Each structure stands twice: as structure tokens, then as C-alpha cells.
Structure 1
């Protein structure tokens, strides 16, 4: 898989990784709902998993008020790693 980078001037964005719910030191870097553009031309939204989400799930929904991601019924793709409830990561818009 090719590495994706952010084209938005924001430091510390790792679009293909997750932050475990217990890793409180790394959580302070990004706010839920933050958005960046990737080098693949897609928009990414930083959200929190509301339950278990398989790696690269292509039908994730993100609640616009809480930025909680669900593993069905939406137009976002989860990061390429499995996520548990409370994990945070960058979800890609399925279309450009």
C-alpha cells in the first residue's frame, strides 16, 4: 500500500494509523472533527470509533455532531487497521 501524506499544512497527521483509546498522551494532538486533504486527493476526518470497525471498512458513517464513527451506512473508509470502541483515527471520504 502506498503511503499517503497530508497536503493540508498540519503537523503530526498519520492518515494510516490509529490512536488506541488508552493512549492519552497522543490524543491531545488532534481534535475530533479536524479535516485534512490527503495526497490521494481525498478529504480525511478525524473521528472516534463508536464500536469495533474492521480495517479499511468502506461504509463507515460519521456523526457530524459527535464525530463518532460507525461501521455501516456511510461514505467514509476507516484506516487500514482494525479499531476498537474509543480508538481514534483519520477516516477518508470514499469519493473525491
Structure 2
């Protein structure tokens, strides 16, 4: 069975532990890059990553875009929602169905 991980700054991710998810606070880009690689190589099927950390690791995240697993999902952190998470999901769905799913809502 695959597990779910959450990585980002401590203040943004500590609440996910109450949901039973494995949380991995990281302090900087290097630590985030190392943690992401270890989680992706392990038993994690879904990795939630804060938008702020995802922005810092954009080159690293490109390695996983074409892979089915792990699914890497951007979530807002305490600094607020940048819209990157929603844009990432939208892009993935567009690739899967071949259409802009929010076209009528713009």
C-alpha cells in the first residue's frame, strides 16, 4: 500500500499530521530537494508539497511530471494561495481529457 507525504515549511504542514499523513518539514531548498527525491523513491504514492517549496524546486518537479507515481500535488501554505496548485491540477486534467475544464467558468 502506498503512503501519503506532505513536505514544506513546518508551520504550513503540521496540521496534516492530524489527518494521519506523514509530514516532512524542510528548512530550505537543498533539504527540500533531498527529501523530495527520497520520498519519490520510496513508498509514497502521493506527495503534497507547499506552493512556496514547489516554486523553489520547479526544476526538480519537472522530473516527475511524466510519471504516474508519485502524484505530486501543490497545496497552499501559510503564506497564502498563489494559484499554482489549482493551475497544476487544471493542466493535468487538460492533458488527460484534452480540453480546458474551466473554459466556461472564466
TM-score by length of 2: 0.25
Q: Tell which has more relative contact order, 1 or 2 (C-alpha 8 A, sep 6+).
A: 1
The structure where strand makes up a greater share of residues is 1
TM-score by length of 1: 0.27
The structure where helix makes up a greater share of residues is 2
- Larger Rg computed on CA atoms: 2
